[in-house]
Structure 1
Amino acid sequence: MTPRPAKGGRAPAMSTEQRREMIVRATIPLLIEQGSSVTTRRIAQAAGIGEGTVFRVFTDKEELLDACVAEAMDPGTSLAEIRSIPLDQPLAARLTQAAEALRAHVDRIGAVMGALHATEGRSRAAGRPGTKSPDRQAGMNAATDAIAGLFAPEEDSLRLPPRQLAQLFFGLLFTSSIQESPQDIGPVVDVFLHGALASTG
């Protein structure tokens, strides 16, 4: 949240955490574009701050890159999008939106990691001692729970429990060989809901 201007028109100083988040948000698009070769000077320009401010928040550029990888892998934004999907929409529409949110998250991870690998940069958040690895299982569980919540309006007519359906949908989505574009998600959702056989009735 952007701090409100104080009296006299000046915005209050950001906390260290707010400044870290702001710098990371400014860095990720540059990281995807330039990989680990992006300079702290360019990052500072994108963030609208002095280069020295970067080093008052991060020990060095490597720590900043680690923070960017951790941010890219954090599923929080995609999970919030899934949880905000209106339940009064048709189930197919709900699942399509959830799939798009999850694919956007995966694409973002791929873009960041690919850029780092291409420029021989850091490949994962746990690349340095003391860096906490993302809890992937916790992220998977949270995503499964979020998708399960989308089945709530149809719970009485489901053939399987919502969480089991969510696990099946999650697996189908990420083991399929479809192209990673929104228009290709529809058939996956359709087969998931209605099966592989055409209706003969």
Structure 2
Amino acid sequence: MDGMTNADAPRRRAPGMSPERRRAMIVQAALPLLATHGAAVTTAQVARAAGIGEATVFRAFPDKDALIDACVVEALRPDSVLAELAAIPLAQPLGDRLTAAATALRAHLDRVGAVLAAAHAAGRPGRGRREPPPADAAAPKERRAAPSAGGRASAREESVAAVRAAVAALLAPERDRLRLPADRLAAAFLAVLVPSRTPLAGAAPTPAELVDLFLHGALAPAAPEEDR
């Protein structure tokens, strides 16, 4: 339009956060609070931690139970601990690598345990309930009906396999000195690290393998020097 200045032109609003990104942001803010306060955490606390209004929490989640369910889904994802394992320098001595891995895995399991305990304490009455999709988007996976037992088991097996592969990668630089294949040693490492759980499914080391490892260690004897 003639005579219209830049100041007169209508301003475009900055694109808002997508519903899925908003939900993810709220979950990330809620996770440490849930681990610290358990089921007593309030949506007001989550909102303050996320820097948003409490009403925004309820636009993303129908109730606190749905938020807790989403936190459980996120806590069980191995992405963060896999990234920590991948960041361990392979140039470090094997003992240092495995110590760093054990530290990361223990912290991950502690977080998962805290979130699951909070979810259990809350009763999670919304579990298995199909929530209607939000008005502005199709329902993300966390808002749909809870996965079946078979689906949860399959996802768990995939997560365990990914963690086992990450530990095996830490053992790979010593592949020529290992007494067992790296994936078998990774399974044994996880069995020793988490003895009260069953993270190995069909990949669990045999008793003979575990005894041999405890008696003789993970590394095969060094080859004799050529001049001997």
- TM-score between the two structures when normalised by the length of structure 2: 0.67
1:155 aligns with 2:175: yes
Off by >3 Å, runs of 4+ in structure 1? 191-195
1:54 aligns with 2:69: no
1:113-128 pair list within 5 angstroms: 113-117=116-120, 119-122=121-124, 127-128=127-128
1:103 shift after superposition:
0.6
Query: For residues 193 and 53 of structure 1, what CA distance do their matches in structure 2 show?
Result: 58
- Point out which structure has higher relative CO (alpha carbons under 8 A, 6+ apart): 1
Q: Which runs of 5+ in 2 are unaligned?
A: 1-10, 130-144, 197-212, 218-228
- The one-letter code sitting in structure 2 at the alignment partner of 1:92 is G
Alignment length (residue pairs): 171
CA-to-aligned-CA distance 1:84-104 (integer Å, 9 cap, x gap): 211110001111111111111
| 1:72 corresponds to | 75
Change in 2 beyond 3 A, CA 1:47/1:81 = same
Change in 2 beyond 3 A, CA 1:22/1:55 = same
Match of 2:86 among 83, 87, 90: 83
- The one-letter code sitting in structure 2 at the alignment partner of 1:127 is R
1:11 shift after superposition:
6.7
| 2:107 corresponds to | 104
CA contact (8 A) 1:23 1:54 kept: yes
Query: For residues 30 and 161 of structure 1, what CA distance do their matches in structure 2 show?
Result: 41
1:1-40 pair list within 5 angstroms: 12-40=15-43
Q: 1 or 2, which has the higher helix percentage?
A: 1
Change in 2 beyond 3 A, CA 1:113/1:170 = same
Query: For residues 101 and 19 of structure 1, what CA distance do their matches in structure 2 show?
Result: 27
Query: For residues 86 and 187 of structure 2, what CA distance do their matches in structure 1 show?
Result: 16
Q: Which runs of 5+ in 1 are unaligned?
A: 1-7, 177-190, 196-201
1:160 shift after superposition:
1.1
- The one-letter code sitting in structure 1 at the alignment partner of 2:49 is A
| 1:131 corresponds to | 146
Indicate the percent of aligned positions where both proteins have the same amino acid.
54
1:33 shift after superposition:
2.9
CA contact (8 A) 1:27 1:68 kept: yes
1:57 shift after superposition:
1.5
CA-to-aligned-CA distance 1:122-174 (integer Å, 9 cap, x gap): 39xx9324123641111111111000001121111211111011111111111
- The one-letter code sitting in structure 1 at the alignment partner of 2:156 is R
CA contact (8 A) 2:27 2:70 kept: yes
| 1:42 corresponds to | 45
1:80 shift after superposition:
1.0
- Bigger Cα Rg: 2
Of 61-70 and 51-60, deviating more is 51-60
1:17 shift after superposition:
1.8
Query: For residues 21 and 73 of structure 1, what CA distance do their matches in structure 2 show?
Result: 14
1:82 shift after superposition:
0.5
Query: For residues 154 and 18 of structure 1, what CA distance do their matches in structure 2 show?
Result: 41
CA contact (8 A) 2:68 2:119 kept: no
Query: For residues 178 and 53 of structure 2, what CA distance do their matches in structure 1 show?
Result: 56
